[in-house]
């Protein structure tokens, strides 16, 4: 029985034990069989048990909620890999779980304002009695292909002004599609955003308020709706509706068969890939391709990249991967999608979600892709002030978490635990950007293969193709990296394209959200949108939308509750738990959001009107947690 915690894979322990410093999030998190409340306790854990600990790296161990996002182990990554399976069955893991619960309970405190952790779903319980088997379903409805990436900025595509990435396949798709130039995510973290895509609901309704919180088992699913309408359905790649990076990691956490392939949340077929290459369908395949020793070497390289520095500039989480492109998860995801679509009968309609797990960190493309763009020639990002002094001055106008993260005073576990942006040099940022470009270009090559396959099979004539990402990446903007409690364009603003059969090129500048995808799929299928969906079908032209809302609830710092609205080229953010704190940016004269005008007297009236509009349109916690709006003096 694996435990809740994560080793973060590397270690210092001199005697084969691990010292864990636990400081879980207020109100607890869904952790398999239990939840942690506030605590501060130290435990020493046998090495074999610590090896079994596995959790979403994005959270820096949110399910174990370490104070500094790390726990130390003695041994290298090869030893960790070799011991992982044996440790997962060690009965002492159960004793560790009991000790964690005891230690955390001793110092727990109640916080009624923090949403309770949702129950963890059992992915093996999703069979739908009475639904025809996939091979028996027949319908003449249009096909739907959803292609998503993980942590990709709007401006990382050539068609959207990237000065680095070459993305001819995706650019070609955009050129014949409706290109939504102001698409925002409803949460800047993976699990809440992906849950919004699946349900067509805001985070306050579907209940996934942070990474580490599972989408409830009874949550509705667009895949279920389409399957009931006769579609055959598949999800291939990164799922992350559970408190781990992928379904594969979660299956490991409940001791389930890693070869299990559905049904799951309305998907007949589900195949899993993750950032760790440790659990799920893709890692099983990769082990077979590489053999045990080579796979162990690959894991050693990958895990050292996660926890360390590398590349040519000693940049954080950087390496030129020795894994060739043909074995990379981005290639495997498209291979599996092609195989699955190829098996769908000509008289059947399909819904396929092909979900890339890149360009999410670590920054580790295959070496040949990583060297496509010499990092010495990479420009610094436009959204980064041009000196350290300018960065600090810009951050000083923003709420406290911006500057604290920059200075290394705030190890924000939601997306960048252990990262200290102020220590990242200009050259390191250039290399990170070059490696990210390599990851994106590998995705683009594979998107091109997938689109070519549809054309060769003639299925492009009856398939609607969507492309988007679950959220963006700071990548140097404001001097910061990765993601977290920062409602800026780099994280909220993503690409969104809808290619209709035959091509209908258009651009829409009205604000839209990922919450609108599921309703759009219903419209394509010609079925009534369920009442529980909160988005609307995507517009075909401008003039139909005014605003889009994004929310954030920190699992670690309760005061970091952000509510944001984009409207009229302005971005307003309120902090309901920090009186008088907010952000206001006018993108018409400050496109990079350098100048926070929240306290600008000349903007007071406009600010208050925007806040009032935001209050009227934000969808709050379905459990009824109060929202503390302050009165403007």
Say yes or no: 500 and 585 in one domain.
no
> Is the link from the previous residue into 263 a cis peptide, with omega within 30 of 0?
yes
Q: Which helix (H) or strand (E) holds 21?
A: strand 17-22
Q: Which residues lie closer than 8 Å to 605 by C-beta, 6 or more apart?
A: none
Say yes or no: 158 and 183 in one domain.
yes
Model pLDDT, residue 274: 84
Model pLDDT, residue 90: 39
Say yes or no: 253 and 186 in one domain.
yes
What percent of the chain clears pLDDT 90, i.e. is strictly above it?
64
Model pLDDT, residue 556: 80
Q: Which residues lie closer than 8 Å to 601 by C-beta, 6 or more apart?
A: none
Say yes or no: 495 and 602 in one domain.
no
pLDDT tens-place string over residues 278-290: 778 999 999 999 9
Residue 250 pLDDT level (bands cut at 50, 70, 90): confident
Question: Which spans in 344-374 are helix H?
Answer: 367-370
Q: Is the pLDDT higher at 399 or at 217?
A: 399
Q: Which helix (H) or strand (E) holds 34?
A: strand 34-35
Which string of b and e fits 375-401 if b means at least 16 CB within 10 Å? beebeebebbbeeeeebeebbebbbbb
Say yes or no: 424 and 535 in one domain.
yes
Say yes or no: 439 and 528 in one domain.
yes
User: Lowest mean pLDDT: which of 57-61, 379-383, 574-578?
Assistant: 57-61
Q: Is the pLDDT higher at 146 or at 75?
A: 146
The last residue of one of the domains, among 545, 574, 604, is 545
- Give a yes or no: residue 213 inside a domain: yes
Q: Does residue 212 surpass a pLDDT of 90?
A: no
Q: Which helix (H) or strand (E) holds 551?
A: strand 547-553
Model pLDDT, residue 622: 54
The last residue of one of the domains, among 521, 545, 569, is 545
pLDDT tens-place string over residues 557-579: 889 999 999 999 999 999 999 99
pLDDT tens-place string over residues 487-500: 999 999 999 999 99
Report yes or no: 467 and 496 within 8 Å, Cβ to Cβ. yes
- Give a yes or no: residue 8 inside a domain: no
- Give a yes or no: residue 287 inside a domain: yes
Say yes or no: 83 and 167 in one domain.
no
Q: Does residue 437 surpass a pLDDT of 60?
A: yes
Q: What is the domain extent for residue 283?
A: 150-335+355-450+465-545
Strand segments (E) across 369-409: none
Report yes or no: 68 and 21 within 8 Å, Cβ to Cβ. yes
**CB atoms inside a 10 Å sphere around CB 119:** 14
- Give a yes or no: residue 349 inside a domain: no
pLDDT tens-place string over residues 110-131: 333 444 444 566 777 787 778 8
- Give a yes or no: residue 459 inside a domain: no
Q: Report d(CA 207, CA 592) in Å as an integer.
A: 31
Q: Does residue 418 surpass a pLDDT of 90?
A: no
Query: CATH code at 174?
Result: 3.40.720.10
On the CB side of 46, CA atoms within 13 Å amount to 16
Read off the DSSP letter of residue 267: B
Give, to the nearest 10 degrees, the angle between helix 329-343 and helix 281-290: 110
On the CB side of 121, CA atoms within 13 Å amount to 23
pLDDT tens-place string over residues 510-556: 999 999 999 999 999 999 999 999 999 999 999 999 999 999 998 88
Say yes or no: 161 and 78 in one domain.
no
CA dist list (Å): 239 to 12, 303, 498: 33, 21, 21
Say yes or no: 217 and 163 in one domain.
yes
Q: Is the pLDDT higher at 503 or at 197?
A: 197
The last residue of one of the domains, among 47, 71, 106, is 106
Q: Of the candidates 214, 215, 234, 213, which has an alpha carbon nearest to the alpha carbon of residue 223? A: 234
Say yes or no: 277 and 330 in one domain.
yes
Query: CATH code at 558?
Result: 3.30.1120
CA gyration radius, the chain: 23
- Give a yes or no: residue 519 inside a domain: yes
Say yes or no: 407 and 305 in one domain.
yes
Please count the structural domains in the chain: 3
| Strand arrangement, sheet containing 547-553 | 547-553, 561-567, 570-574, 582-586
Q: Of the candidates 104, 165, 374, 135, which has an alpha carbon nearest to the alpha carbon of residue 233? A: 135
Strand segments (E) across 407-502: 463-469, 493-494, 496-499
Q: Report d(CA 538, CA 136) in Å as an integer.
A: 31
- Give a yes or no: residue 394 inside a domain: yes
Say yes or no: 496 and 602 in one domain.
no
- Bridge-based pairing of strands 183-184 and 512-513 is parallel
Q: Report d(CA 309, CA 324) in Å as an integer.
A: 21
Q: Which residues lie across from 508 on neighbouring strands?
A: 180
Q: Report d(CA 199, CA 341) in Å as an integer.
A: 23
User: Lowest mean pLDDT: which of 61-70, 176-185, 526-535?
Assistant: 61-70
- Give a yes or no: residue 54 inside a domain: yes
């Amino acid at each position: 029985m694996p435990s809740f915690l994560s080793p973060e894979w590397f270690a210092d322990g001199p005697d084969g034990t691990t010292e864990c410093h636990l400081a879980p999030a207020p109100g607890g998190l869904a952790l398999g069989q239990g939840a942690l409340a506030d605590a501060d306790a130290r435990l020493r854990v046998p090495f074999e048990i610590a090896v079994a600990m596995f959790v979403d790296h994005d959270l820096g161990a949110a399910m174990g909620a370490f104070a500094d996002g790390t726990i130390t182990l003695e041994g290298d990554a090869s030893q960790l890999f070799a011991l992982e399976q044996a440790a997962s069955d060690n009965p002492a893991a159960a004793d560790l779980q009991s000790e964690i619960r005891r230690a955390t309970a001793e110092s727990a405190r109640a916080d009624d304002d923090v949403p309770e952790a949702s129950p963890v779903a059992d992915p093996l319980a999703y069979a739908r009695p009475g639904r025809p088997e996939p091979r028996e379903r027949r319908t003449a409805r249009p096909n739907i292909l959803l292609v998503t990436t993980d942590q990709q900025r709007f401006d990382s595509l050539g068609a959207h002004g990237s000065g680095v990435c070459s993305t001819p396949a995706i650019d070609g798709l955009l050129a014949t599609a409706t290109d939504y130039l102001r698409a925002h995510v409803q949460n800047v973290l993976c699990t809440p955003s992906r849950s919004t895509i699946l349900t067509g609901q805001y985070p306050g309704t579907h209940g996934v308020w942070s990474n580490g919180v599972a989408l409830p088992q009874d949550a509705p699913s667009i895949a279920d709706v389409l399957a009931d309408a006769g579609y055959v359905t598949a999800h291939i790649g990164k799922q992350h509706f559970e408190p781990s990076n992928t379904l594969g990691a979660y299956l490991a956490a409940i001791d389930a068969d890693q070869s299990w392939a559905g049904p799951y949340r309305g998907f007949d077929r589900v195949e899993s890939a993750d950032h760790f290459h440790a659990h799920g369908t893709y890692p099983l395949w990769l082990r077979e391709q590489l053999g045990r020793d080579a796979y162990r070497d690959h894991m050693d390289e990958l895990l050292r990249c996660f926890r360390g520095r590398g590349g040519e500039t000693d940049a954080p989480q950087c390496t030129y991967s020795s894994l060739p492109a043909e074995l990379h998860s981005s290639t495997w995801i498209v291979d599996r999608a092609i195989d699955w679509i190829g098996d769908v009968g000509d008289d059947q309609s399909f819904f396929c979600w092909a979900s890339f797990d890149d360009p999410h960190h670590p920054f580790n493309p295959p070496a040949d892709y990583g060297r496509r763009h010499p990092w010495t020639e990479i420009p610094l990002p436009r959204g980064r002030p041009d000196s350290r002094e300018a960065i600090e001055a810009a951050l000083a106008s923003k709420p406290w978490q911006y500057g604290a993260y920059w200075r290394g005073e705030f190890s924000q576990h939601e997306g960048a635990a252990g990262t200290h942006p102020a220590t990242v040099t200009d050259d390191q940022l250039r290399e990170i950007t070059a490696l990210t470009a390599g990851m994106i270009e590998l995705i683009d090559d594979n998107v091109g293969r997938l689109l070519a396959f549809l054309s060769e099979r003639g299925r492009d004539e009856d398939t609607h193709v969507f492309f988007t990402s679950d959220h963006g990446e700071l990548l140097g903007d404001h001097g910061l990296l990765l993601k977290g409690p920062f409602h800026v364009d780099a994280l909220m603003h993503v690409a969104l394209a809808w290619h209709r059969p035959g091509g209908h090129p258009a651009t829409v500048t009205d604000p839209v959200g990922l919450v609108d995808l599921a309703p759009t799929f219903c419209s394509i299928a010609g079925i009534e949108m369920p009442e529980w969906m909160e988005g609307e079908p995507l517009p075909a032209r401008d003039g139909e939308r005014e605003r889009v809302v994004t929310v954030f609830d920190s699992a670690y710092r309760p005061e970091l509750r952000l509510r944001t609205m984009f409207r009229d080229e302005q971005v307003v953010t309120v902090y309901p738990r920090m009186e008088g704190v907010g952000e206001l940016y006018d993108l018409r004269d400050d496109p990079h959001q350098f100048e926070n005008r929240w306290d600008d007297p000349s903007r007071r009236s406009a600010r208050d009107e925007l806040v009032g509009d935001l209050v009227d349109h934000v969808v709050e916690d379905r459990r009824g947690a109060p929202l503390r709006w302050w009165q403007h003096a």
